[in-house]
């Protein structure tokens, strides 16, 4: 389940407070924000003013920062391009081996099946939207495909 922005903020806030070993009472004393307000913030039952959030963060020697969503889109696009190149390399290695061994017409050969799988995943990379977690799963599939292809090739040489 993907968390929304408010839940992510609350989770990060609580993790920050806990990592600094600060209790809600201590944070209240440092910031001047009443402890019940901090408790409601951490439960997600209130939407405090920005000035309250800034006071709390400042008292934990932390800052609020804003990230552009485009930056994540850039990294996702870059990751997809890199994986597409890796897939093309795996597909090429398998294809060259199958041609050299004259087995490219055997649709039931494991390498042929693997080559088709890699090609399909590669084609789907371009046309679909993925999260970074989904891309990590695809990367794991490519790593498996590469390792399996290398094992089959090495065992048959």
Give the pLDDT of residue 140: 86
Give the pLDDT of residue 70: 54
Tokens of residue 55, six digits: 């006071």
Tokens of residue 35, six digits: 């402890």
Give the pLDDT of residue 57: 93
Give the pLDDT of residue 37: 95
Give the pLDDT of residue 88: 87
Give the pLDDT of residue 76: 73
Query: CATH number of the domain that 146 lies in?
Result: 1.10.8.130
Does 9 fall in a domain?
yes
Give the pLDDT of residue 2: 45
**SS3 assignment, position 45:** coil
Number of Cβ within a 10 Å radius of residue 22? 16
Task: Let me know if 56 is exposed, middle or buried by CB neighbors in 10 A (0-12, 13-18, 19+).
Answer: buried
How many separate domains does the chain show? 2
The domain of 118 spans 69-155
> Looking at residue 61, what DSSP letter applies?
T
Give the pLDDT of residue 1: 38
**SS3 assignment, position 152:** helix
For tokens 């920062």, the residue is 65
> Looking at residue 156, what DSSP letter applies?
T
Query: CATH number of the domain that 34 lies in?
Result: 1.10.260.40
- Are the C-beta atoms of residues 83 and 126 closer than 8 Å to each other? no
Digitized pLDDT (tens) for each residue of the chain, 157 residues in all = 345 788 888 988 999 999 889 999 999 999 999 999 999 999 999 988 999 999 999 999 998 887 665 555 666 777 778 888 888 888 888 888 888 888 878 888 888 888 888 888 888 877 777 777 788 888 888 888 889 888 888 887 6
**For residues 125 and 139, what is the distance between their CA atoms, to the nearest angstrom?**
11
Are residue 55 and residue 88 in the same domain, yes or no?
no
Give the pLDDT of residue 69: 56
Does 126 fall in a domain?
yes
- Are the C-beta atoms of residues 80 and 135 closer than 8 Å to each other? yes
Does 64 fall in a domain?
no
Are residue 26 and residue 102 in the same domain, yes or no?
no
Give the end-to-end CA distance of the chain in Å, rounded to a whole number.
46
Q: What is the pTM of this model?
A: 0.49
Are residue 76 and residue 144 in the same domain, yes or no?
yes
């Amino acid at each position: 389940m993907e968390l929304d922005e408010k839940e992510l903020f609350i989770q990060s806030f609580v993790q920050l407070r806990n990592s600094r070993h600060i209790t809600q009472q201590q944070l209240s004393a440092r910031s001047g924000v009443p402890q019940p307000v901090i408790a409601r913030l951490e439960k997600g039952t209130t939407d405090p003013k920005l000035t309250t959030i800034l006071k709390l963060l400042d008292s934990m020697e932390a800052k609020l920062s804003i990230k552009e969503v485009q930056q994540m889109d850039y990294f996702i696009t870059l990751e997809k391009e890199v994986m597409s190149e890796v897939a093309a390399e795996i597909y090429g290695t398998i294809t060259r081996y199958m041609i050299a061994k004259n087995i490219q017409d055997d649709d039931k050969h494991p390498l042929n099946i693997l080559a088709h799988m890699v090609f399909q995943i590669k084609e789907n990379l371009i046309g679909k939207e993925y999260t970074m977690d989904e891309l990590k799963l695809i990367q794991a599939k490519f790593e498996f495909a590469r390792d399996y292809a290398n094992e089959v090739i090495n065992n048959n040489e």
